[in-house]
A and B are shown apart, each in its own frame.
Chain A
Amino acid sequence: MARIVSLLTMLACWQAGAGIAGPRLLPAPMAVGAAMLAEARSGALFANLGATLARVIAAFVIAMAIGSALGLWMGRSRLADRLADPWLVVLLNLPALVIIVLAYIWGGLTETAAIAAVALNKLPSATVTLREGARALDPKLDDLAHVFSFSRATWLRHVAAPQLAPYFAAAARAGLSLVWKIVLVVELIGRPNGVGFEIGSAFQLFDVTRILAYSLAFVAVMLAIEIFLVQPFEQHAARWRPSSSRRQN
């Protein structure tokens, strides 16, 4: 209920702002909705959303998989931490734009270069978050695993993964929003389709309506992912916690 009131207030502010600024600078919500509908009818909206979403998923999966493995390794082994930490610091502080431009120069204006550039931007923060998780693993449960000779797979699945789940969810949530923003930049610079490409061409024409139509459509897609994938994952991972300590929604 509170969320709906908040959302309606946002729309009302937008409508009021549109009245003051005029339709060229800030078109009204209805105008943006109509533009979205028109793009949807022509099929262009879904084609571009699909292209962007595919890049987001590919880059996200690669970054999370490598980042989690690397973070776990660095959190568990002091030597690994010392070896990989300087690389991580460099990558963390390299501006996204530099990585993207270099990826396109070295890899050409290809899909591979685009996805690699996005994944590389997300990789260090996922690694850092999972490394924190790995450092916080309970040594008493490791003793248990040792005494009862748990296999490596059993340890990972039944001892480590449940403890890492909150860190993984945090990295996933921060990662999704970061990845899709960087995907737009990658598309703007060197891809012939996708939401970023459309926003780029709308920018050439100062077409604010189309910019808002495309960005809001994609925000809706990401919101759906958060609600239907990330939150259920968190709830599943926290199912063992006594219900009193669970967050009330």
Chain B
Amino acid sequence: MPRVGVPAALDVRIDGKFFQSAAGKRIPVLSDFALRIETGEVAALVGPSGCGKTTLLRLIAGLDPDYKGNIVKPARGRLGMVFQEPRLLPWRSVFENLRIAAPGAAHDDLDALLTAFQLGDCRDRYPGEISGGMARRLALARAFAVEPDLLLLDEPFVSLDAKLAASLREELALMVERRPVTTLLVTHDMDEAITLADRLILLSGRPCGVIADIGISERRGARPPELIAAIRVEAARRLANV
């Protein structure tokens, strides 16, 4: 839901981002790339593996200052991020992983968050003692624990089995519905994007460019299978036209 006159929550303009190859050649990853996401919007970047999606996310997260361009983030700028792997602190308990990421949060709120992500029972266990699915849930809970102004999701359910990925996707959709937050989801899974996002941004391969920008107006969690199928067909058509 773009609003005219309101500053964008996230305004990205990348003039150039290069990788230095081992042989010393400069390989362009992103050039003349622009993206705007409005406050509260959930946008999904969908594109083939290796097209520079993760690089883009790292630039937005401030993990890589080596690029030409400009990235404007939300004013208060608190960032929540879910990486491709859970990336937990294995030597700290489930609860402490939340507390360390969100030192200002009340303990009751963190416990409520653990309960919401069905982690209440393993509050005091170490990450090595919980299942892979639970570790993903914890990574999601941690991103919400900081009450982010911008949520970055980098293929958060990659390498999970389809059933588990689907149920985590549902949980995340409910959570985003309950606590609206400007979100940028990066994925190569079209179903994931259609389930979670208000807006699909389809990307081409290297160097990364926007092929299509598709809005979805139905509420998350209430999207019938026919609609999802229709959007998938539409996306496939747009991709084929390039």
A241 to B126, CA, bound (A): 8
Is the contact region of chain A dominated by helix, strand, or loop, or is it mixed? helix
A150 to B89, CA, bound (A): 13
Interface window among B79-87, B106-114, B194-202, B216-224: B79-87
Q: Which chain B residue shows the least CB distance to A157?
A: B100
Query: Which residues of chain B come closer than 8 Å to A240, judged between CB atoms?
Result: 90-92, 126, 128
Q: A146-B63, A148-B146 known; A158 and B89 CB under 8 Å?
A: yes
B103 part of interface (Cβ distance < 8 Å): yes
A160 to chain B, nearest CB (A): 11
Q: A158-B100, A242-B128 known; A146 and B62 CB under 8 Å?
A: yes
Query: Which residues of chain B come closer than 8 Å to A241, judged between CB atoms?
Result: 128
A148 to B79, CA, bound (A): 6
In the complex, how many residues of chain B place their beta carbon closer than 8 angstroms to a beta carbon of chain A? 25
A162 to chain B, nearest CB (A): 4
B115 to chain A, nearest CB (A): 22
Query: Which residues of chain A come closer than 8 Å to B103, judged between CB atoms?
Result: 154
User: Are A149 and B91 in contact, with the CB atoms below 8 A?
Assistant: no
Q: A154-B100, A240-B126, A242-B129 known; A147 and B91 CB under 8 Å?
A: no
Give the residues from 108 to 145 in chain A that come closer than 8 angstroms, CB to CB, to chain B: 140-141, 143-144
A162 to B88, CA, bound (A): 13
Give the residues from 8 to 47 in chain B that come closer than 8 angstroms, CB to CB, to chain A: none
Given A140-B85, A143-B58, output 6 extra A-B contacts at Cβ < 8 Å.
Answer: A144-B83, A146-B61, A149-B78, A154-B100, A154-B103, A240-B128
